[in-house]
Amino acid sequence: MLNIAIRAARNAGDIIQRASENVGQLKINFKTQNDYVTEVDRMAEQEIINVIHTSFPNHGFLAEESGKQSGDDYVWIIDPLDGTTNFLHGFPVYAVSIALQHKNKLQLAVVYDPLKDELFTAEKGGGAMLNNRKIRVTQPNSLKGALIGTGFPFKSKKNLAAYLGMFSALVGDTAGIRRAGAAALDLAYVASGRLDGFWEIGLQPWDMAAGILLIQEAGGVLTDFSFKDQYFQSGNLIAGSPKMHQLMYKAIEPHLTDNLR
Ligand code: IPD
Ligand code: CA
Ligand code: CA
């Protein structure tokens, strides 16, 4: 199954890279405020689904652009192009994200960065890899010196004040905060130790499914803002090594409004 997922991700990456040469000619549609989709997102998604469906005709899908397709106990969770806004601006940070759940438990994960040809993979119980080399989360003892990834709540302003509180609690006490614009890659970077931690409000399952398994298999922990594992329901995520997660949670907690808990 992992091999099929990798083939699907690489094929999608080829479609994205070919299209990146003519970004100016792409037709762009708005889904909701600040949420864009192009024919590249749709073509890449269709390719991923075709590759997987050919091998596993009974499996279900939850894909960003085409939605839910029910099947047996297996569900593929797909973000064909994570970082569409970056892609449209030629800002070189975007990736393909594919995860597989069996009876609601994550089984495998692939995040593929076609620009760097970096392939992050994980299988439940089998560890996490970057281009076939084992990766681990970092083990910092304090926020001091830590590099933290995040995403801004740009689609809806309702959590902006709470977010800015969290941001100011962390920005002064860490080495820095990065907003690169592709959550799947942010999470893959936590898994591979390029970032020490990550938090974001309002993610969708396809943004985070693969990244979650990558981090778990790399020795990290993830929770929602209630210290539970209901992140697919809330979309809110804090991630890092057990210690980093705890330190970040402490900094974030005082800024939570009732709707975020
Ligand atoms: C977006 C990216 C971004 C995150 C947004 C997502 P998209 O995904 O992951 O980093 O902040 O919440 O929607 O729309 O480019 O696939
Ligand atoms: Ca996404
Ligand atoms: Ca997307």
The rounded average pLDDT for each run of 10 residues, N- to C-terminus, in the chain (261 residues) is 98 97 84 77 97 98 97 98 95 98 98 98 98 97 97 90 97 97 98 98 98 98 97 97 98 96 90
Give the integer Cα–Cα distance in Å for 100 and 201.
23
Nearest CA to ligand 1 atom 2: 182
Domain boundaries of the chain, sorted by first residue: 2-134, 147-260
pTM score of the predicted model? 0.97
Q: Which burial class, exposed, middle or buried, applies to 248 when counting CB atoms under 10 A from its CB (0-12, 13-18, 19+)?
A: buried
Virtual CA dihedral for 117, 122, 127, 128, nearest 10 degrees?
A: 30
Say what the pLDDT of residue 146 is.
98
Nearest-CA neighbor of 64 among 35, 87, 93, 86? 35
Q: Tell me the best of 203, 206, 231 to mutate to test the pocket of ligand 1, counting ligand atoms within 8 Å of each CB and taking the most.
A: 203
Give one DSSP letter per residue of 231-253, joined into a string.
HHHH--EEEESHHHHHHHHHHHG
**pLDDT at position 220, please?**
98
- Do 236 and 203 contact (CB within 8 A), yes or no? yes
Residue-level pLDDT at 145? 97
User: Rounded to whole angstroms, how far apart are CA atoms 37 and 16?
Assistant: 13
Q: Indicate the CATH number of 147-260 among 3.30.230.10, 3.40.190.80, 3.40.630.30, 1.10.3210.10.
A: 3.40.190.80
Structure tokens at 97: 């994200």
The domain 2-134 is placed in CATH, from the list 3.30.540.10, 3.40.605.10, 3.30.830.10, 3.30.70.20, at 3.30.540.10
Ligand 1 pocket by Cβ (under 6 Å): 79, 82-85, 151, 181-183, 200, 203, 207
Of 42, 45, 51, 67, nearest in space to 6 by CA: 51
Distance from Cα 141 to the centre of ligand 2, integer Å: 31
